[in-house]
Chain A
Amino acid sequence: MNANLIASVWARSNPCPSLSITDWELLLGQARRTGLLARLAQHLLDRGWMEQVPAGPQHYLQGALRLVERQKLAVRWEVNCIRRALGERQTPVVLLKGAAYVVANLPPARARLFSDIDIMVPREQVAQTEAALFAAGWISAERDAYNQRYYRTWMHEVPPLKHVQRNTVLDLHHTISPPTSRFKVDGARLFDQVQAVDSEPGFCTLGPADMVLHSAVHLFQEGDFGHGLRDLLDLDDLLQHFSGSDPTFWSTLLSRARELALGVPLAHALRQLERLFGTVPPLELRPEFSAMGPGGLARHAMSTLIGAAVRPQHPSCDAPFSEAARWLLFVRSHYIRMPAYLIVPHLLRKAYMRQFPDQPPTAA
């Protein structure tokens, strides 16, 4: 059975789902696989449909919501600990992604679980920030020297830091995209638009347009397409939220995308949002948004690939094509992040280390 039940939940005109008990089982399975169980629960709660859900599925939906609530507390505590570690600073620390959604009370925080906290500081402060974090108990989770080099030299990250006592993971960035990538962004430009967070003095989030662009770039550059649908839903949430409170938001987004040369990932993302949820820019801006993406065949091919990859990886709706599509995109994703001559040795190395975690390779 190929029913993509989970994607249909968010189609704009969807009425209250009236599902058989077996359908509920499938839907929950697909939701778990795509990391959307909590969001599904929130969706039902928002529309007053939760009471109509049979008792069995309801247990697990409510459980997912409890986890999200718990996580919000955990995030605020981590941010608290980060503040104590970094002390008083001249420039604020920027929270990214999940942590930003939580502290700024943005819609994606209501129903999203994530594992790491991402922060961004100016490039010239990375070393000193890492030192301060180290002193407070965050040590590099990455033991392998090659991977250390991979992260530091090629990616935009210090390798993930793990706290010795709490085992929480922190990613320290100075921009939102790797310097070797086709879509590199100079972190300094992002700092121009950051916004303070009232509830967390000393911390900021990216400006609204930058947050949307970060989400779009992340979707196409990171290797993990298993959660593509979830990331698109978050992106849609952000767009609805920002455009709802600011009528000029779409045109701000357009100019910022041009300014940071992130038109291509944005165009791809918008195409998916239109296809899945019917979300479109205002009529008068549509031609300009369209013009940002690659034309004709390239656009169609990419769209099909992404569409197939975004299908939930659940046995009930995995078309045979999906696995191949996912792999192609993973390779492409790495291709976007690192030039081709760098990519092949890296992929083999990671595969080797997965197979033989305790044996370092003998040859260079």
Chain B
Amino acid sequence: MTWRLNPSSGLHWRCWDDEWVVFDQGSGQTHLMNPVTAAALMQFDAQCLSFEQLLDKVAADMSVTSNSELASALSLAVEQLVGLGLLESARG
């Protein structure tokens, strides 16, 4: 299973003191995100990613080794992002 950004999204980020806010032009919605969800979403540009690829990238971004806590937090984050319509599953 791989995911990608919803093609109609257009993300604009701001950060203050480790809190991330993103505005999505496609849906017109503004989201306040915790660091894991923000980190997850930021990995997607033009590419599709599998969960393992995503986990590795986020771990690298956060300068931690990937572990089961990060994995489950990330799993929740992906679910949330799909529910918000920001991520969608891609073929393949």
Contact = CB atoms under 8 A, between A and B. Distances in A.
Interface of A: 70, 73-74, 76-77, 80-81, 84
Interface string B9-32: 000000000000000011110000
A77 B88 contact: no
Majority secondary structure, A binding face: helix
Contact of A81 (B25, B28, B85): B85
A81 B8 CA distance: 11
B75 interface: no
B85 A70 contact: no
Interface residues of B, number: 8
Contact of A74 (B6, B28, B85, B88): B28
A73 B28 contact: yes
Contacts of A81: 85
A152 B28 CA distance: 33
Given A80-B6, A80-B8, A73 B85 contact: no
A187 B28 CA distance: 34
Interface in B60-89: 85, 88
A74 B8 CA distance: 11
Contact of B26 (A70, A77, A84): A77
A74 B29 CA distance: 10
B28 A80 contact: no
Contacts of B25: 73
Given A74-B28, A76-B8, A76-B26, 15 more contacts: A70-B28, A73-B26, A73-B28, A77-B8, A77-B26, A77-B27, A77-B28, A77-B85, A80-B6, A80-B8, A80-B26, A80-B85, A81-B85, A84-B85, A84-B88
A77 B27 CA distance: 6
A81 B84 CA distance: 10
Interface in B16-52: 25-28
A257 B88 CA distance: 43
